Structure 1
Amino acid sequence: ACWTCKSTDVPRVMNERGVAEFYKDKWDHLGDQVVNPIGCQDCHDNKTMNLRITRPALVEAFQRRGKDIKQATHQEMRSLVCAQCHVEYYFKGKEEKYLTFPWDKGFRAEDMEAYYDSVQHVDFVNTLSRAPILKAQHPDYEIYKTGVHAERGVSCADCHMP
């Protein structure tokens, strides 16, 4: 699952192996198949250059919220392509390690905490205090989504890909 946002080869390997199998596999088992860095085709159709979503975790998160990502406007897509990777996530299941975005209850920190509480997810337990701990990854899209830029219709690409 750690390869998911590291290479343009990922969608091909996911299609060949299946998404769940891809997530379950070990990093070193895929090394000879995942050799290219992130590139244009991660966010753009290589024939039309239209924006596209190539990572299933984003589509699945929208589906769980009752939304169809295919209905997104071009301006929304200018942030959603970033949200394929620049997000809070966790690996659901001890064996499956299925990449999941914790957005079922919303995008705010307290919404994600409530989600994690509802599924009883813990990233690790402190060895001294025994306190269960969540490790925030990089919730860039969530911070954007709950901020003034999204409220005003500014996309990630407006500033970061001018």
Structure 2
Amino acid sequence: MQWATSDLCDAHDDVQVAEPRLRHVGGVTQFCGPVVTLKLFEDNSLVRSTLEEPGAGRVLVVDGGGSLRCALVGDQIAALAVRNAWAGIVVYGCVRDSAELGQLPIGIMALATHPRRSVKRGEGQRDLPVTFLGVTIRPGSYVYADADGLIVAETEL
């Protein structure tokens, strides 16, 4: 797959560009795919159950409310995503086990790392538009991420 977010921005004026606050923590820095969205706060139960499904090259976008108080993805959940063929995970929040995440063949972007795990109450919502870092991401939109940043398109580019 040959593309760069900068080239896609040049060719498509209608793409949304996320504010540059996410950092790469996975072992892959270029990834893309159709989106599945989650909206939750400091509870990663829905993250795990979603990543237990076949990914088929999709990207899980987790709106964690920007919380910097606990991690929503760690090495075990990320390994589950790899086993189930997810292309990537974008977390508007924190992840942990960053050394292990960096060794996995999956794209992962997050605001920061945090050693504390999340709670497990089974709370959250799936498949609704989420807005953070200046972009609105809808289920079925496409996310493209590389070393230059993250962009969102309504259709595959």
Higher RCO, Cα 8 Å, sep 6+: 2
Taking structure 1 as the reference length, the TM-score comes to 0.26
- TM-score of the pair, normalised by structure 2: 0.26
Identify the structure with the greater strand proportion.
Answer: 2
Structure whose residues are more often helix by fraction:
1
